Amino acid sequence: MKNIVYRESYIKSIKKSIGSNLIKIITGIRGAGKSTILSEIIKYVHSKNDESYVISMDFSLKPFSDIKNEIQLFEYLQSRIKNKKDKYYLFLDEIQNVKNFENIILHFYSGYNVEIFITGSSSYLLSKQIGTKFTRRHIDFEIFPFTFLELKEYCLINNISLNDQELLEKMIMFGGLPLTYQIPDDLKIKWLSSLSLEIVEKDILPNQNIGNLLEFNKIFKYVMQQIGQLFSYETIYSFLKKEDNKNSTAKTTIISYIKALNEANLLSTIERYNIIGKELMAYKTKYYAYDIGIRNAVVDNWKNLDLPKIIENIVYLELLKRGYNVKIGKTYSWEVDFVAFKNGTITYIQVCESLYSEEKYKQELDPLKSIKDNYEKIVITYQKDIRENDNGIKIVSLIDFLRKH
């Protein structure tokens, strides 16, 4: 058993919510460590309360995997919760395995003195149905794969000797899911491929209306191949038509399939932002993968990983994990890779493999120079550049950016 990274930012945030009258929903892609984080919260609550008032159930394991429906769940909780006055804590892991569980959650939430924590399939917990039933009654905590610093800590506490560049190369190849790093390197590719199939089979198919699995998988692979590219639904339709001239997939079907990938935390959709007009733009978006390892497994071209797309995806995920609201920037005739909003400030970011020529240098910096406000502007490069600043625009290496807390 490998030593586990104590993911303080998530645990601290969830601890702060304890005592509030809200259902705590912990979501994230399979393998991101939701159950591990929940177990830390359970330990904390146990340390403050008599164990008889802490009810912990993992519906993927015996004996609780035998509970399949709302009646069985109700009967068990009714047997454990002795009255409506005393405070009880309910921890329900892999809750999507229980049919109509939300009815029982709301029953005890409304009529008893309980504090409820649930984890499970993001595809179900993020669905419109659950969102409607739990409206104004819940708070979400999204768990991401490891950051670079978390992966570095994991290697340190497990005596894995890698320098920062070697560690970055591991992330580029295998992503950041904690479970990935508990598996030997020679089995990681096979495991990531199996995991991507498992997410589709167990998280998406039972919870989404996927009428044509072959078509769905085509779209899944195509979008993962094209991470960081501007898309419209017409782009995807044109791709399907090119693959098969007789294809008649409706736009509404494409939209529902992309939505399913988003809700399963396989895909993240990012909107365009008009920097000059300071407004969102309706036409075209970009997609990024929630985990690079799964992206590489779906694309299945391990000898040509498309480094520029992957490093852009890594920066995007890092910004999300740091709490930024991230958009694509549009200014005059130029695109800015990311416009990151946080606490009333803006950071404009360009990402590239290197600034190897004057032409490339102008291509990356001119869009930032065209922005006339005084907010921070950064170019992040995979290959470290000798230049560090150009008229206030910072030039930093990807490793240095990832090392920053």
Exposed/middle/buried for 352, CB within 10 Å: 0-12, 13-18, 19+?
buried
**Measured in whole angstroms, how far is the alpha carbon of residue 395 from the centre of its chain?**
27
Average pLDDT of span 43-69: 95
Q: Which of 327, 345, 336, 233 is nearest to 281 (CA)?
A: 327
pLDDT number for residue 54: 97
Q: What is the average pLDDT score of the chain?
A: 92
Q: Are the CB atoms for 287 and 270 separated by under 8 Å? A: yes
What confidence tier does 206 reach under pLDDT thresholds 50, 70, 90?
confident
Whether residue 281 is predicted with pLDDT greater than 90 in this model: the reply is no
What are 129-156's pLDDT values in tens digits? 566 778 888 899 999 999 999 999 999 9
DSSP state of 231: B
Question: Residue 74: exposed, middle, or buried by beta-carbon count in 10 A (0-12, 13-18, 19+)?
Answer: middle
Of 163-177, 228-242, 376-390, the range with the lowest mean pLDDT is 228-242
pLDDT above 80: residue 124? no
Contact between residue 125 and residue 118 where contact means Cβ atoms under 8 Å apart: yes
For position 128, what pLDDT does the model report?
54
Question: What pLDDT does residue 106 have?
Answer: 93
For the cut 80, the answer to whether the pLDDT of residue 297 exceeds it is yes
Rounded to whole angstroms, how far apart are CA atoms 397 and 383? 6
Residue 213 has pLDDT above 60, yes or no: yes
